[in-house]
A and B are shown apart, each in its own frame.
Chain A
Amino acid sequence: MEKDRPLILIHSEMKYHSDTSPDGINIMLTPQFYTVKRESLPVQYAYQAKRIAPSLFEGLLENTQEHKYFVDKEEEHWLFIAYDIEKIKSFLTSKGIEIANVSKMFFAEQSIAKFKAPVLLGEKDALVNLEGTMTIIPQVVLQEEEKPMPFDASFTPKKGVALEGRSTSILESTEAYTLAAILALFAVIYFVEGSRYTNENAAQEEEMRLLLEDYPSLQSNYTRESIATKYRTIDKKERKKRDIIKALSHMIFKGSTLTSLVMDDKKFQATFTYTDANIKKKLKDLAKKEKFNISEISKSNNLTIGGSL
C-alpha cells in the first residue's frame, strides 16, 4: 500500500515540489534532517528502546526536548534517529509539500541496503552509503566508475512515521487511537448487555411456548384466568382447613385428649379434655397462638376451641 505512493527524497537543495498525487505521497529524509545512532542494546522491544532514546542523544543535539525519536531494530543493532518535526514540516511547506498530503515519513538510514550506488541530490550533492551510514557528499568526489542510481518508490521501507498533528488536527494519533479504543470497548459492552436482554426474553418466550404446547387448553387468557380463579379459591380454603387440622393435632399431647372435632366449609370446633391446670394453660396458649376462639366448659375438664374458615 505504502509502496504504491510516490516516494520523494527530501534534501535541502530540492526544488519546489508540486505534488498532484490524489492518494498522497511518502517522503524520505536525507541525513540533513536527522541525527542517527546505531547501538547494540540489551532491549527486546521498540517501546523500551524508544524510552532510552533521548539519553543516547544527550550532548549531540542542541535541545533534546524539541526532538522526536524513531527507533527500529536492525539485524544486530538498534537504529535510533532523532528529528525535529517542526523544522521538517516548515521545510516541507516551504517546498510546496502540503503536510496533509504526506502519508508516511521515512529516513534514508532505513533503506541503507538499497543505496548500492550514489543517488544524486540536485546538481552538487549525492547521497551515498558510506561504511554503513547514509552520508551526503559533493558529487565532485564521486569516482567515475560510480554510476548514480535512480531513486523511486522501491526504496520505501516497511516502518514509517505518520506526521502527527498535521494540518489542523488537534489530536495526536496515539491519543485518538486510545480514546477510540476506549469508546469502542464501551460500545461492545453495551451491545453484549443488550444482546443478553434479548436472549433472556427469547428464553422466556420459548419456555412459555413449550408450556402452552403441553397445555393447549391454557392458550386462551380467558381460560387461564378462569381456571386460576377457580383453583386459587379452592387452594386457599383447603390449605386453611389442613393448617387448622395440623394446628389442632399439635394440641394432642400427654394430658390432652381430643374428644370431638367438627369441621365444615364455614367453621370448626374441637373439644379437648385436659388432666390439670398446666395442661389447660398450655392448650390455651397454643390456641391463642393460632388465634382460635377458646371457651371453657364449666365444671368439667373440657376446653372448646373453634373458629371460622
Chain B
Amino acid sequence: MTQQLKAYKNEILIGLAFLLLLVSLIYKQGKVSATNSEGGGATSSLQELKEVIALKKVWGDKKITKKVDKIKDIVAPSKVTWSKKGKKLTASFKNMSAQELNRLIVKIMNLAVEIQKLEVQKLDTSYQVEFKCKW
C-alpha cells in the first residue's frame, strides 16, 4: 500500500494542492456571500444608525434652549418683545437696521429649530420682524 502511494506521490501532491485550492475558494466565496448578505445588512444598519445619531444631534440638541436665548442679544433689549413658553418662542423685533436684520436672519438659519413663522417688513429705513419657532 505504502509503495503504491509512493508511486503516485506526484499525483497525490497535485490532488492535495487542488483540494486546498478548492477549500480556499469555497472559504472565500462563503465570506463574500456572508458580507453581501449579513455584512451588507450590517453596513446599511451602521449607516442608518450614524444618520439617526447625526439627526438626533442636530434636531434633538439639548442645549438648543440656551442657543435660542442668544437671539435677543443681537439687538438692543428695547427693540425686542420676547415670549418663550416651554419649547416655543414668539419674538418681535422693531427698528432694526439692515445689518441687524442680516445678523438675525443668519442666526435663525443656523439654529436647529422649526420655523413656524418668519415675517419681515420694511418700514422706511428700518425693519420689523415677527418670529415664531419651536424645538
Contact = CB atoms under 8 A, between A and B. Distances in A.
Contact of B38 (A201, A211, A264): A201
Interface string B92-134: 0000000000000100010011111111111000000000000
A263 B119 contact: yes
Contacts of A22: 2
B117 to A, nearest CB: 5
Interface string A240-257: 011001100100000001
Contacts of B39: 197, 200-201, 204
Contacts of A181: 17
Contacts of B105: 245, 249
B7 A204 contact: no
Interface of B: 2-4, 6-11, 13-14, 16-18, 20-21, 23-25, 27-28, 30-32, 34-35, 38-39, 42-43, 45-46, 48-53, 55-56, 58-60, 105, 109, 112-122
A194 B27 contact: yes
A184 B34 contact: no
Nearest 7 pairs of A and B residues by beta carbon: A176-B10, A167-B7, A190-B24, A231-B55, A183-B17, A194-B28, A180-B17
Contacts of B3: 24, 98, 100-101
Contacts of B45: 208
A194 B32 CA distance: 7
Contact of A171 (B14, B30, B109, B114): B14
Contacts of B20: 183-184, 187
A193 B34 CA distance: 13
Report which residue of A173, A190, A191, A205 has the largest number of chain B beta carbons within 10 angstroms of its beta carbon.
A190
Contacts of A200: 35, 39
Contacts of A241: 115
A116 interface: no
B119 A180 contact: no
Interface in A186-211: 186-191, 193-195, 197-198, 200-201, 204-205, 207-208, 211
Given A208-B45, A264-B117, 20 more contacts: A168-B8, A169-B7, A169-B8, A186-B21, A190-B21, A194-B31, A197-B32, A197-B34, A197-B35, A201-B34, A201-B39, A207-B46, A227-B52, A234-B59, A235-B58, A257-B122, A258-B120, A263-B119, A264-B116, A264-B118
Given A215-B53, A218-B49, A173 B10 contact: yes
25 contacts: A22-B2, A169-B10, A169-B11, A170-B11, A176-B14, A180-B16, A180-B17, A183-B21, A187-B21, A194-B31, A197-B32, A197-B34, A198-B31, A200-B39, A201-B34, A204-B39, A208-B45, A211-B50, A215-B53, A231-B56, A231-B60, A238-B112, A258-B120, A260-B120, A262-B120
B13 A180 contact: yes
Interface in A151-169: 166-169
B14 A179 contact: yes
Contact of B55 (A98, A183, A208, A228): A228
B51 A228 contact: yes
B60 to A, nearest CB: 7
Contact of B7 (A100, A184, A186): A100
A261 interface: yes
Interface in A117-145: none
